[in-house]
Structure 1
């Protein structure tokens, strides 16, 4: 029941506070960008494991994202057989637009709250984030 309440609150928050999308990307595209952003030295092999896709399918997705200017591919300096996938500035901007809350809207909300209320919200989100990283480190 608490999970349902949290999900309801979160979806309401996200619905009201998300950025207006400038870039049209699929959910799977966003998951690729998130995975690249949250990890270091990301390879096609790593992405295929995390996304539960074949190496070829993953490679095709990354090629499309590269053509659109969201990612770059470079040879790994430590092991030239590996290709490291990174976000471009355009990819970082698109990811922010699709996954974060609009800072202008958040600031408007915080202006209407007391310092104590602001701190409670930030503490609650930090606690949820820290525990989720501990319990689900491979996401």
Structure 2
């Protein structure tokens, strides 16, 4: 490719990073009215989803699952605890570790969250298989990008 051709590819509309950025914002806007009745922000929602899978996790393990550092995760967990959805306690085996556990109220919220997943699926206009393919493509892309940074 010559220089002029390469410069055409620099246009914003051709950039995958900009398409992902726009899609991320669109998802955030779509989730907000669905999560407001649950009293959750999107980062709180993904933390709850991770805990619904496990029920109990250390702060470190939860941060790794979500890709969040402790500076971001700690205030988020504090708000979930204040809402009565989780409890935080030091591990008896290793006091350096803090265990996050769902409360009964936090477990019960999972029933309402199923409606969020269904509504997002409808909002995308994609079938389950198409969404799964997009998700898998994005996960593979993330893995490749992370590999280049290591």
Over the aligned positions, Cα root-mean-square deviation in angstroms equals: 3.2
Asked if the contact 2:56/2:102 (under 8 Å) is kept, the reply is no
Which one has the largest radius of gyration?
A: 2
- The structure whose RCO (Cα within 8 Å, separation 6+) is larger is 1
**Corresponding position of 1:76:** 91
How many aligned positions are there? 89
Q: CA deviation at 1:26?
A: 2.3
Give a deviation string over 1:6-28, Cα, whole Å, max 9, x none: xxxxxxxxxxxxxxx85232232
Unpaired runs of at least 5, structure 1: 1-20, 102-139
- Are 2:113 and 1:98 equivalent residues in the alignment? yes
Residue matched to 2:77: 62
* TM-score, normalised with respect to structure 2: 0.49
The structure carrying a bigger helix percent of its residues is 2
Q: Tell me, which stretches of 5 or more residues in structure 2 are unaligned?
A: 1-35, 117-150
Distance across 2 between alignment mates of 1:69 and 1:41:
15
Q: Secondary structure at the match of 1:72?
A: strand
Normalising by structure 1, we get a TM-score of: 0.52
Q: Runs (4+) of structure 1 moved beyond 3 Å?
A: none
Q: Aligned with 2:87: secondary structure?
A: strand
